[in-house]
Amino acid sequence: MRTILHFIDGVPVDGGAGRQPVFDPNLGRPQAEVVLGDPATVAAAVASARAAQPAWAALNPQRRARVMFEFKRLIEAEIDELARLLASEHGKVVSDAKGDIQRGLDVVEFVCGAPHLLKGEHTVGAGPGIDVYSMRQPLGVCAGITPFNFPAMIPLWMLAPAIAVGNAFVLKPSERDPSVPVRLAELLLEAGAPKGVLNVVQGDKTVVDALVDHPDVKAVSFVGSSDIAQYVYARGAAAGKRMQCMGGAKNHGVVMPDADLDQAVNDILGAAYGSAGERCMALPVVVPVGERTATALRDRLVDAISGLRVGVSTDPEAHYGPVVSAAHKARVESYIQMGVDEGAELVVDGRGFRLQGHEEGYFLGPTLFDRVTPQMRSYQEEIFGPVLQIVRAESLQEAVGLASRHAYGNGVAIFTCDGDAAREFATDVEVGMVGVNVPIPVPVSYHSFGGWKRSGFGDLNQYGMDGIRFYTRTKTVTQRWPTSQRPAADQSFVIPTMA
């Protein structure tokens, strides 16, 4: 059986706190095992990063950018193989796995502009003979803790900007699908990054705590559940570290009476059931405005759901594959039963789905609920599976209130042909990322990704200019050079001004 190791100081490393199976969700059986690290493993990875970082930071930005360009090229050359490997451990279909990698590559491409992104500000003549300028400098050693649902995209969102601006990085990927992150580290080394600039430590909570607690780790980026995000944020912030922690979501899609229903249903279907709903930017709640809209939307959703194909990850005709694990499948099924017990109307039940020849795989059919209310726990909590809930609203204001009052505030969408309604919605809704006729409003790489409320902890978002700001600190220099023409200044005990 294949063994997935750590990657420290440019080489695979064994050892730590034991091993754990890595399952194939399509078959429901182990396909590999991953080593689990311990504090000593973390210490070795951080020591390697700390040793490599000064020389890497001393390179001029364009030389680091050349490494990132080559890193991008190598990933693109291997994207088919990487997508198959990713799909085999996660369960998402190969076409979706390619999208996972591509959205990460977009950020790698963005940070190839590091020479421009790192430019500071400069004021000549801020005072008599005084110039002021600023510079962005790397923090040192940074760490990333990433979830199972995007084993390529989210690591690349973190490590690419951190490394491009001159930091060294320690990555702790999910132990459920750990192979692709290791391969990315190997490709960065091949691209020309010195050993130690990127290290990968496999593990569980023990490794997370050791990374967050390590005094040489200056910043931590985390993506996962909200409870863990809050825990990691509080622990790191208490130690004086720069923290960026993204949590869960319960994204709403508001459908107005004037919406193009055919397009809306098509968009909602992909956003709700794509990747088996295992996305923090999935659309698990749809809010039709008005009873006529709700009835028409429900009917079309039922028809469209009947045409969905659930299949193995390598099936090119499948719309989505299995969920990641047996435990997660059982969790999603428990939420479906919870919705039934709470009185929601179960319109389509995805439980009991079996794929011929893959009966032990972790497959769930698409599920649809109607007449869900905000008081229901199944609405309040993140299900993270192929489950779509209809919550009816009588007005746009009521729909805005539903999304705004929810504990999560990651993403939201409105489907409408009315520009005034869209503008009002985008302005008023208390959610971090808004889509107008866009079901999954993940910003492009030169903007920034981040939610509000329990979806995000910390002041700076991921990638874009916020990513550059997070992984650097600003130093401002005020300078004056003595000249023979300027008389020596008298001593002054008054705070200097430029008046």
Task: Classify domain 252-436 at the CATH superfamily level.
Answer: Aldehyde Dehydrogenase; Chain A, domain 2 (3.40.309.10)
Q: Quote the distance between the C-alpha of residue 125 and its chain's center.
A: 43
Neighbours of 58 (CB within 10 A): 9
Residue-level length of the chain: 499
Contact 290, 397 (CB under 8 A): no
Q: Which CATH number fits domain 2-247+455-477: 3.40.605.10, 3.30.830.10, 3.40.50.720, 3.40.50.300?
A: 3.40.605.10
DSSP reduced 3-state for 286: strand
Mark whether 245 is an active-site residue. Answer: no
Q: Quote the distance between the C-alpha of residue 332 and its chain's center.
A: 21
Cα separation of 472 and 122, whole Å? Answer: 18
Q: Which of 142, 245, 280, 417 is catalytic?
A: 280
Helices 79-90 and 61-77: crossing angle, nearest 10°? Answer: 70
Residue given tokens 């009991």 in the structure block: 352
Enter the tokens of residue 360. 């032990």
Domain ranges of the chain: 2-247+455-477, 252-436
Q: From residue 150, how far is each of 11, 174, 236, 266, 418 by CA, in Å?
A: 24, 9, 23, 23, 34
Enter the tokens of residue 274. 């794509």
Q: What is the DSSP letter of 274?
A: G
Which residue stretches of 192-260 are H helix?
205-213, 226-238
Q: From residue 193, how far is each of 68, 159, 294, 332 by CA, in Å?
A: 9, 12, 54, 42
Start-to-end Cα distance in the chain: 73
Sequential pLDDT tens for the chain (499 residues)? 899 999 999 999 998 889 999 999 999 999 999 999 999 999 999 999 999 999 999 999 999 999 999 999 999 999 999 999 999 999 999 999 999 999 999 999 999 999 999 999 999 999 888 999 999 999 999 999 999 999 999 999 999 999 999 999 999 999 999 999 999 999 999 999 999 999 999 999 999 999 999 999 999 999 999 999 999 999 999 999 999 999 999 999 999 999 999 999 999 999 999 999 999 999 999 999 999 999 999 999 999 999 999 999 999 999 999 999 999 999 999 999 999 999 999 999 999 999 999 999 999 999 999 999 999 999 999 999 999 999 999 999 999 999 999 999 999 999 999 999 999 999 999 999 999 999 999 999 999 999 999 999 999 999 999 999 999 999 999 999 887 666 666 667 777 776 6
Cα separation of 415 and 422, whole Å? Answer: 8
Question: Exposed e or buried b for every residue in 267-285, given b needs 16+ CB within 10 A?
Answer: bbbbbbbbbbbbbbbbbbb
Contact 428, 404 (CB under 8 A): yes
Enter the tokens of residue 358. 């893959």
